[in-house]
Amino acid sequence: MREKSLNKRVLVLGGTQFFGKKLVKKLIANGEIVTIATRGMSPDPFGEHVERLIIDRRDKESIDSAFTNREWDIVYDQTCQSPLEAQFTLDALTGKAKRYIFTSTQAVYEFGVNHVEENFNPYEFTYEVKPREQYSGYEGYQEAKRAAEAVLFSQKELEVAAVRFPIVIGKDDFTNRLKFHVEKIIEKEPIGITNLEARFSFILSDDAASFLYELGASSFTGTINPGCKKDISLRALLDKIEEHTGTKAKITDVLTKENASPYSIGDSWSTNTNKAEKLGFTFADLDETLGHLIDYYTTEISQNA
């Protein structure tokens, strides 16, 4: 899908980390009038190019107050972690916005591979409106994102698109989840993994930001899976790291706090991206992307040794 300037008022909930930061930079570069709403805890590089609002997603009054007497054409929600937060934001945006682009996750699906969007229907999901503190672990994360989607799609005023991102990777990945594996292998330390055959989907952070931008500029509503076309098993990922580093991985099925792979959740999560591709979106090749990042981390680790 071809990028085009929105020339509109855009609110980004979040936008100071990882691909959210890339999204804001893209919006600014294309002449949009950008407001970011955050807790005000993290510095940002945007200077005078954005307006800043301070909100607490868990505090309804802070959101209501910050959004008073304001309007936006598009809202990008990067920070919602519960259905209660989604409801607070919707209430505060009544009559003040048109489109809502929600950063969701492939975790809304059950474990499995090649998930199509129809495999989770937010319109049929029964949920409770609870705060983020009542969701814990992967199961809690899954329930929270499912319920947040259900809240958003239950209203009729805003055009909503839920973007079910796979694992996002990039040189700017502050979670260092991929780097963890490269570092452990280079340093010949064990990696704790319970299922080497578990498969996952990925997306490059540049592609994640571009996808959000372009989706906002489109008229698309509903749910959608972006990402690299192929998925990959943990075994194949480790094989690739071994190939690029020239070092053999040490694997253990006894997991500890120090050795547990961030990707070792016991089973597969991967998605089918045909819908996004049919709409004209393209994404980086997974093999090339992983190769470039492994080489980048290898160089970084050796320089810091």
In a domain, 36, yes or no: yes
Clarify whether residues 196 and 238 are in a common domain. Answer: yes
Strand 190-192 versus strand 250-252 pairing type: parallel
Summarised one tens digit per residue, pLDDT across range 52-102 is: 999 999 999 999 999 999 999 999 999 999 999 999 999 999 999 999 999
Q: Reading across the β-sheet that carries 199-200, which strands appear in turn?
A: 112-115, 269-271, 199-200, 232-233
Summarised one tens digit per residue, pLDDT across range 261-296 is: 999 998 999 999 999 999 999 999 999 999 999 999
Confidence at 7, pLDDT banded by 50, 70, 90: confident
Which of 227 and 138 is assigned the larger pLDDT? Answer: 227
Clarify whether residues 17 and 49 are in a common domain. Answer: yes
Which residues have CB under 8 Å from 185's CB, separation 6+? 191, 238, 241, 242, 245, 247, 248, 249, 250
Tokens for 12?
């980004």
Clarify whether residues 110 and 182 are in a common domain. Answer: no
Contact 202, 279 (CB under 8 A): no
Clarify whether residues 207 and 245 are in a common domain. Answer: no
Question: In this structure, what CATH number is given to the domain that contains residue 195?
Answer: 3.90.25.10
% of the chain beyond a pLDDT of 90: 96
CA distances from 36 to 11, 43, 53, 72, 129 (A): 6, 12, 6, 12, 25
Mean pLDDT of the chain: 96
Clarify whether residues 146 and 219 are in a common domain. Answer: yes
Confidence at 304, pLDDT banded by 50, 70, 90: confident
Clarify whether residues 206 and 257 are in a common domain. Answer: no
Beta-carbon count within 10 A of 111 CB: 15
Identity of the amino acid at 168: V
Clarify whether residues 120 and 197 are in a common domain. Answer: no
Clarify whether residues 161 and 180 are in a common domain. Answer: no
Q: How far apart are CA 51 and CA 291, in angstroms?
A: 38
Summarised one tens digit per residue, pLDDT across range 178-198 is: 999 999 999 999 999 999 999
Clarify whether residues 186 and 218 are in a common domain. Answer: no
Confidence at 155, pLDDT banded by 50, 70, 90: very high
In a domain, 66, yes or no: yes
Per-residue burial over 285-296, b if 16 or more Cβ lie within 10 Å, else e, is ebeebbeebbee
In a domain, 132, yes or no: yes
Summarised one tens digit per residue, pLDDT across range 228-254 is: 999 999 999 999 999 999 999 999 999
Write down the pLDDT at residue 5: 55
How many structural domains compose the chain? 2
In a domain, 279, yes or no: no
What is the pLDDT averaged over residues 200-220?
Answer: 97
Range of the domain at 257: 170-201+229-267+285-304
Clarify whether residues 47 and 78 are in a common domain. Answer: yes
Write down the pLDDT at residue 2: 42
Q: How far apart are CA 86 and CA 90, in angstroms?
A: 6
In a domain, 162, yes or no: yes
Clarify whether residues 85 and 141 are in a common domain. Answer: yes
